[in-house]
Structure 1
Amino acid sequence: MQKQLRARNFALLRISGGGLPGNRKLVCEIENWGQEDGGQLEMLIRSYGELMLDHIETSLFPVAWTGSDHMSFIEAQEFNPLLHHLPADVLPFSGLGFPIRLGAMGNGYVLFTASSLSLTSDLIVEQHLRSCQIMTDLLALDERRSAPAQTLSEREIACLQLAGDGRISEEIAENLGLSVHTVNAYLGSATMKLDAVNRIQAIAKAIRLGHIN
């Protein structure tokens, strides 16, 4: 993405604080500023953090700012009205940010900085969609890291797979040669192991964790 946009740096910022207005803040998850330019990212969050937090509550339009380097958005005039412009000349560098709102821990921004970005409307839309996918991948990685220590048994996985295919307990029991009571017991234990609130969430988590497809 960085190469396609001809950007110098990127960062993925996630909103932490449980959604409470007084506790919310932008936290960097991934960046390539490095030690030499690391202070610039802190400067960006300090300067625009509150404005970006307010913006994402009401809009998913990309944000842009022009720094003292006077960045130019090349070939994006038709998209310019849909960019939310932050105050100019606050930072020594310019940039573009894609807001992402996936709920709970999946809210934040993917940012790019450069002295000049070669943009078209199609490219902006494409990069916004890819930014959402990056956040989705990060959430999946978080889920894998926090996966419970207890592993699912083969029977639990088989019951979850069939349930995920839309089979009811009676059909699963007939398919696996088990009683309905045993099938429900396997599904219940799998739900607890996956720290899910119900069978549907257990199936969704099992898919994300790669247990079933």
Structure 2
Amino acid sequence: MEIGAYQDAQFGQERTQERSEGSAGSMADLFPKLVAMQRLCGSTAFAVLSVHAHTLLKPGKIECTTQSPGSQEFVSPFLKLNTEFLLSHLCSSPCPVIFMPENAQAMDSSPACIVRNQAVTETSLAFPVQLGTLGNGFVMFFDARAMLSNDLLIDLHRKSLTVMREKLRLAFGMTTGSENLNDREIECLQLVGNGMKSEAIGEQLNLSVHTVNAYLGSATTKLNAVNRIQAIAKAIRLGIIA
């Protein structure tokens, strides 16, 4: 499967799932979702890793923010070996990573990045999530023993995005109004965030400039922002747009 097709399947299914499931009420609500994902891939342990990008003032780093009981024996050795790779991969590819022993059999035509290492004794899965400021990281599953089909990888990646978005929403205190943003408001915010002006957005979406501005205005109000720039920044932090 090509990377572009993989992304279309991943994000399309994720958006449908988010609309049907709604938002989690607390951080504790996310743990059962991770346990369910753990069962799907037959893994022994899971962890949610938060990635802080490299800047002029601070080096890039990864820290574990959520993990299953007993996962520490997997997390610490894994990060010691793979932190540099994970930081690089998050910046360069949206595809999941499968860490495998050297003699393990890989999938044919897998959309994942396969990493073989003689120091690895079990198969681990890393699903990258890129949601903007303070919202980047990986959802990890260690000692995965299920058959890793393309459909399973896409499903787990979609669920990983949903989990990280819910964590971000809860961390930033997402308001009721922002939950009610409609598709057109989200589209217009995303296109403005991509650098387009109202006139160009209207042409692309077949809307009048007045209608585009109305959608942007209502989205700004729902996000409790003072202007479009603040609305876009908040929408990125909350994972509403990329």
TM-score w.r.t. length of structure 2: 0.55
- Matching residue of 1:105: 134
Residues 24-63 of structure 1 mapped to structure 2, 5 A cutoff: 24-34=60-70, 37-63=71-97
Q: Give 1 or 2 for the bigger CA radius of gyration.
A: 1
In the TM superposition, residue 136 of structure 1 has moved relative to its aligned partner by: 0.4
Return the letter of the residue paired with 1:2.
Q
- Matching residue of 1:133: 162
| Superposed CA RMSD | 3.7
- Matching residue of 1:120: 149
Q: Give the unaligned 5+ runs of structure 1.
A: 148-156, 173-186
TM-score w.r.t. length of structure 1: 0.62
In the TM superposition, residue 125 of structure 1 has moved relative to its aligned partner by: 0.7
Q: Give the unaligned 5+ runs of structure 2.
A: 1-36, 186-210
Matched, 1:95 2:95: no
Return the letter of the residue paired with 2:166.
D
| DSSP 3-state at the match of 1:11 | strand
8 Å CA contact 2:95–2:112 kept in 1: the answer is yes
Higher relative contact order (CA 8 A, sep 6+): 2
Number of residue pairs matched? 164
Return the letter of the residue paired with 1:114.
D
Structure number with higher helix proportion = 2
Change (3 A) 1:116 1:204: same
In the TM superposition, residue 201 of structure 1 has moved relative to its aligned partner by: 4.7
Percent identity between matched residues is 28
Q: How big is each residue's C-alpha offset from its partner over 1:88-113, in whole Å with a ceiling of 9 and x where there is no partner?
A: 12234320111111111111111111
Return the letter of the residue paired with 1:78.
S
8 Å CA contact 2:42–2:144 kept in 1: the answer is no
Q: List, as ranges, runs of 4+ consecutive aligned residues in structure 1 with deviation greater than 6 Å.
A: 203-206
